[in-house]
Amino acid sequence: MADTTDDQPGARAEAEPILRLSGVSKRFPGVKALEGMRLDLYAGHTTALVGENGAGKSTLVKILTGIYTPDTGSLVVDGVERTIHSPRDAWADGITAIHQEPVMFDELSVAENIFMGHMPVDRRGLIDWSSMIARTTELLERIEADFAAKTQLKRLGVAQKHMVEIARALSHDARIVIMDEPTAALSAREIDDLFRIVADLKRQGRAILFISHKFDEIFRVADRWTCLRDGCLVGEGLIAETTEDELVKLMVGRSIDQVFPKREVAIGEPVLEVAGLSNATEYADISFTLHKGEILGFYGLVGAGRSETMQGLMGISPPTRGTIRINGHEARIAAPADAIDAGIAYVPEDRQIQGAVTALGIRENMSLASLAKTANKTGFVAYAAELARTRDLGSKLAVKAAHWDQKLMELSGGNQQKVVIAKWLATKPQILILDEPTKGIDIGSKAAVHAIMADLAAEGLGIILVSSELPEVMGMSDRIVVMAEGRMVRVFDRAGATPEKIVSVATGGMA
């Protein structure tokens, strides 16, 4: 494909790549994150790196930026073999990155955040504050940011912090810029600004590695694509010669309509009725009804207030206004324990921090939300019953482990997530809230989680699915609530939902 000779932008790519990564493998204990990976980046071109969560994209970025050292493989920059052992090595090679999460220092100023690690110094080796402020101001003007160089970072909003992250990448004057999901927290207008910057960088002859889940963005900014699956390169080529369908098939290894085991389930009585749920700053006027056997999807951009709403329902940060009715009876939920008693279960978004206790074993994790049921009458742990339940749920969810006391930190992300789901099923809930349940887990586990969801809905549970993956929300949900800026903006029926409409509503359009 690279041999095309028409005047596509990619045609110039016949030139030597500015960066060539080949044969790169990286293993972690028990995990093969990358295997024989190859990546070429060309000056003046944007290469999109596509792949599902967990395909190895983050590992690749961390190798390029010197956070990880690969086990094998070579890196050639401008025809010279290089090794990158630290972020400083990466900068020396002209590589810089805009990371997925803004990773920064709240207490320090914008200027310091941008120049941390490479602050300008004068002849005495002291920081040259005036030149640092001047250069920061220049960078901020270039990206049309609306805040000053001396502002303390903690005073900025999420999108503004992202601008700082972008400015930091630009501050290195790098030849190779990696953008790891740079648009996740940006509004439509800010995304336009970002793409203008990308075009500028390209014009200046820089190579860009663009990582995104959003195909419209990929087709808008990228010239080339490289696809990863399970740590391996599965394809590369020119954007102009591919289609979204083709990329999705490559990414998941099968076509998308086959992925979701959604079943037709008779929708039952209302099980959860929420009216006017609000708190001070995060969400307002959330009202919906969830029925038995129904899967209700919640879609929105990152930071739209979906997880906060669910945590309100769960009593983690109780709402200030609104009513919650379960099976027609008003429920008072002031703490998670109340929510559990009321029959609500919540598989949280951040598995490592909110879901799993990774230093404890499978059996102990599975009992955590139902400890009262794990004890006999005298308060002692009823081991035999606990083990039986662990076996039961573990095999129902096809948890793969050596033994039931194995620590979660030794399991893969997918198996950890299954244990977290099992923990909540042990509470025998009527309402199951799944917040990004397949984030960062492999395809097999993903399919398993979807199959479990379908089964549970068929058993009559009411399920809420919060997800930022549009295919997942559309594939699994009976109805889809779209949230933006802490409010519900629209509810779609399964039949009436199209990706275009949903995205447009979620990003502030009027569709």
Amino acid sitting at position 201: L
Binding to another protein by residue 472, rule CB under 8 A? no
387: helix, strand or coil: helix
Residue 443 makes contact with another protein by CB under 8 A: yes
Written as six digits, the tokens of 36 are 């024989």
Number of residues that bind another protein (CB under 8 A): 140
Should residue 485 be labelled a site residue for another protein when binding is judged by CB under 8 A? yes
CB of 355 to another protein, least distance (A): 6
Radius of gyration from C-alpha coordinates of the chain:
24
Work out how close the CB of 81 gets to another protein at its nearest, in angstroms, rounded to a whole number: 22
Distance CA(413)–CA(30), nearest Å, equals 12
Is 263 a binding residue for another protein by CB under 8 A? The answer is: no
Applying CB under 8 A, the span of 7-15, 268-276, 312-320, 461-469 interacting with another protein comes to 312-320
What minimum distance in Å lies between the beta carbon of 163 and another protein?
A: 15
Residues numbered 74-93 forming contacts with another protein, rule: CB under 8 A: 86-88, 91
Binder of another protein out of 6, 330, 380, 495 (CB under 8 A):
380
Span near another protein by CB under 8 A; candidates 73-81, 181-189, 203-211, 483-491: 483-491
Determine how β-strand 46-50 pairs with β-strand 224-229: parallel
In angstroms, the CA 167 to CA 151 distance is 14
Chain centroid to Cα 419, Å, comes to 20
Q: Pick the piece of the chain touching another protein (CB under 8 A) from 11-19, 188-196, 264-272, 413-421.
A: 413-421
116 part of the interface to another protein, by CB under 8 A: yes
Options 8-16, 184-192, 195-203, 449-457: segment touching another protein (CB under 8 A): 449-457
CB of 230 to another protein, least distance (A): 5
**What distance lies between CA 189 and its chain's CA centroid?**
21
CB-based burial, 339-361: b 16+ in 10 Å, e otherwise: bbebbbbbbbbebeeebbebebb
Nearest to 441 by CA among 477, 482, 476, 399: 399
Q: How far lies 100's CA from each of 57, 180, 459, in Å?
A: 11, 5, 38
What minimum distance in Å lies between the beta carbon of 205 and another protein?
Answer: 25
Applying CB under 8 A, does 28 fall inside the site for another protein? Answer: yes
| Three-state helix/strand/coil letters over 434-479 | EECCCCCCCHHHHHHHHHHHHHHHHCCCEEEEECCCHHHHHHHCCE
For position 469 contacting another protein by CB under 8 A, the verdict is: no
Residue 20 in the binding site for another protein (CB under 8 A) = no
**Contacts of 146 by beta carbon, 8 Å cutoff, 6+ apart:** 160
**Within its chain, how far is the Cα of 79 from the centroid?**
34
Measured distance CA(9)–CA(284) in Å, rounded: 47
Q: Which of 398, 469, 471, 491 forms a contact with another protein (CB under 8 A)? A: 398
**434 is a site residue for another protein (CB under 8 A):** no
Of the candidate residues 121, 188, 199, 385, the single one contacting another protein (CB under 8 A): 121
CB 199 → another protein: shortest distance, Å? 26
Name the CA dihedral angle for 154, 156, 158, 164, rounded to a multiple of 10 degrees.
-100
* Residue choice 5, 329, 403, 495 for contact with another protein (CB under 8 A): 403
Nearest to another protein of 208, 347 (CB atom) = 347
| Amino acid sitting at position 308 | E
Give the footprint of another protein on residues 132-151 (CB under 8 A).
150-151
Q: Is 384 exposed, middle or buried (0-12, 13-18, 19+ CB in 10 A)?
A: exposed
Q: How far is the CB of 293 from another protein (least distance, A)?
A: 16
Confirm or reject binding of residue 478 to another protein (CB under 8 A). Answer: no
**Is residue 8 near another protein by the rule CB under 8 A?**
no
**CB 293 within 8 Å of CB 462:** yes
162-221: which residues touch another protein (CB under 8 A)? none
Give 243: exposed, middle or buried? Use CB within 10 Å, 0-12, 13-18, 19+.
Answer: exposed
Q: How far is the CB of 235 from another protein (least distance, A)?
A: 5
Q: Which of 24, 43, 77, 104 binds another protein (CB under 8 A)?
A: 104
Q: Does 367 bind another protein (CB under 8 A)?
A: yes
Residue 232, phi then psi, degrees to nearest 5: -120, 150
| Residue 425, phi then psi, degrees to nearest 5 | -65, -30
Does 400 contact another protein by CB under 8 A? Answer: yes
CB of 35 to another protein, least distance (A): 8
Candidate segments 15-23, 191-199, 234-242, 262-270, binder of another protein by CB under 8 A = 234-242
How near is the Cβ of 98 to another protein at its closest, in Å? 11
Q: How far is the CB of 419 from another protein (least distance, A)?
A: 12
Q: Closest distance between another protein and the C-beta of residue 51, in Å?
A: 10
Q: Is 105 in the site for another protein (CB under 8 A)?
A: yes
